Amino acid sequence: MSTEATEQKDFVTWFRAKYPAHAKSLRVSQSGAHRGKGKMAAIRIAKAKGQGEVKGEADIAILLSKGGFACLIIEHKGLGQSHSLTEDQQEYLDYHNSVGNLAISTRGFNVLTAAVDTFMGM
């Protein structure tokens, strides 16, 4: 079973190879990164929030205008994992859809790459 982190790492490699001219448009959230334990974790979390991290932030953003959308926002879940969208994640996607972005959720590497190929072809 592949993990969400592994799929996202593979996705970054795939995107940069397939769309090298747009590699700088790819943004990946660090909100799920392991920040350690105890006092140091609390410091890292406070720093991230101070730098603009928000609850429910999606995993992937492709900052290109395509098909009338300002950009593509993706909340990704690993294939075979039971995680579902949290309320904060759904609210984040809903907000971005309401302001002209295309915000979606995907599950599994193949669905993720198919969604991005569709967006890039718009």
Instruction: Give the Cα separation of 67 and 120 in Å (integer).
Output: 9
Average pLDDT over every residue of 97-111: 97
Determine the Cα–Cα distance for residues 114 and 84; give it in Å rounded to an integer.
20
Helices (runs of H) and strands (runs of E) counted in the chain: 4, 4
| Architecture of domain 4-120 in this structure | 3-Layer(aba) Sandwich (3.40)
- Residue from 116, 19, 109, 7 nearest 61 by CA: 116
The count of residues in the chain is 122
8-17, 51-60, 74-83, 103-112, range with the lowest pLDDT: 51-60
**Tens digits of residue pLDDT in 83-95:** 889 999 999 999 9
What mean pLDDT value characterizes the chain?
87
Cα-based angle 117, 95, 11 (whole degrees, multiple of 5):
30
| Per-residue pLDDT tens over the stretch 31-41 | 655 545 666 65
Question: Contact 98/69 with Cβ under 8 angstroms?
Answer: no
- The CB density around residue 27, as the number of other CB atoms within 10 Å, is 14
pTM for the structure as a whole? 0.84
Q: How does residue 98 score in pLDDT terms, banded at 50, 70 and 90?
A: very high
**Average pLDDT score over residue span 54-66:** 93
DSSP state at residue 77? E
Domain ranges of the chain: 4-120
